Amino acid sequence: MLDAAVELLAGEDAYVVGGTVRDELLGREIVDLDIACREPQQAARAYADAAGGAAFPLSATHGGWRVALDDGRTVDFTPLDGTIEDDLATRDFTINAIARPLAGGPEYVDPFGGRDDLEAKLVRAVAADVFERDPLRLLRAVRFEDELGFAMERRTERLAAEQAGLVTRPAGERTLEVLRKLSVAGWHRLDGLGLLEPLGGSLDLADRAGAVDSADYRLVVFLQEAVGLLPVSRELRRYAVALLRSRAPGGSSAREIHRFRRQTEPWALEALAFHGRLDLAATLEQARASDPAEPLLRGDELGVAPGPEIGKLIELIAEERAAGTISTREEALELVRRHAR
C-alpha cells in the first residue's frame, strides 16, 4: 500500500501524516494511509488506477480525496497548501500532528511534541480552538483515550468539558461513526466530560452495558430513545425498537418466554440482557432449541376468511403449542373453532 504511493509521488513534496504515523510509532498495524501532497485529486486518481480502487472526494471544502481499496483499506490524500508545519498546525491532537517524508528518511516533523505525548500516553490538543474548529474532536478525544489506553492532558480535558455543548453540531453520520467505536468505559468517559447528556444519553442502564459485547447494544443502552436521532441503518433501528419496546418476561414459564420471544427475536438474548434478566438465558435457549420444524396449521387450513384474524389465530396456536396445552393438528383445529369469530 505504501510502496505504491512512494512510486507514484516520487520526487514530489509529500508526507505521511496523521494516524498512519501515530500507529507506526506505536507499532500498531497500519490499516489506512494518510498522505499530504500538493495535488490530492491527481494523486488519488493515479493511485486508484494503479491499485484497482475507487477514488472519490472526501470534502468539497477541504479538497481531500480518498481511495477505497477492495480489501476495505483506504488511502487518503489531503492538500498540502503551505509547509508541512502549517498542515500539522491544523490537526487535532499532538499525537496526530506528526509527519515523515513519504520518500523515507530518519527525520520526523513533530513541531508539537507528539512523540513525547505518545511516550507519555497523553491526548493533547494542538491548539485551544481545536474543538471549536471541529466539535467532532470532542468525541475523537474520548475515542483515542479509549482505543489507545491514553489519558487526556489536563488542559485538553478542561477544554473538552467546557465546550461539551458543541458535541451536537457535527453531522449525525460522523457522530455515529465515532460512537460505534467506544467501549463501555468510553461511554462512561463521555458522561464524565458532560458529552453524553447533550446527545440525549444517560447512564441509567449502564450496569447492563457490559452484558453484550456489541456496538449496537451499547448504542441502545446508553442512548436509548435518542438512538433514533442518529442516521442509523434500518436494521439497527429495528433492533433498537425491539429492545426498547419490549417488556421483561413476567416469569420463566413457557408462555412468558414465548411472548417475550415474539416481541424480540432474533435479538431475544440481547433483550434479556437489556432488561437485566440473563438469569432466563438458559430457559430461552432451551425454548429456541425446542422450536418445531413445522406449524400445526397453515393460514389456508384454518377455515377462516382471509383477514387479520388469520394472523391472530396462527399466533394463538403457536403460543398454546409452546405452553404445552396443544400438540396435534386436531387440537389446533378445535382451538380455532373455539376462538374464530
CB atoms within 10 A of CB 51: 18
Q: SS3 of 125, please?
A: strand
Beta bridge partners of 101: 15
Q: SS3 of 166, please?
A: helix
Specify the length of the chain in residues: 341
Nearest one of 218, 220, 175, 214 to 195, comparing CA atoms: 175
CATH topology agreement for domains 1-120 and 126-231: no
Domain boundaries, the chain: 1-120, 126-231, 246-289, 299-339
Q: Which fold has domain 1-120?
A: Beta Polymerase; domain 2 (3.30.460)
What span, in angstroms and rounded, lies between the C-alpha atoms of 257 and 262?
A: 9
DSSP-derived pairing of the beta strands 100-101 and 15-16? antiparallel
What is the pTM (predicted TM-score) of this model? 0.89
CB atoms within 10 A of CB 53: 19
**pLDDT recorded at residue 60:** 66
Q: What is the CA radius of gyration of the chain?
A: 27
Q: For residue range 26-76, what is the model confidence (pLDDT) as tens digits? A: 999 988 899 999 999 999 999 999 988 999 998 767 789 999 998 889 999
What span, in angstroms and rounded, lies between the C-alpha atoms of 57 and 80?
A: 15
Domain spanning 126-231, CATH architecture:
Orthogonal Bundle (1.10)
State the residue for C-alpha cell 438469569: 279
Kindly give the parts of the chain with pLDDT less than 50: none
What span, in angstroms and rounded, lies between the C-alpha atoms of 160 and 203?
A: 19
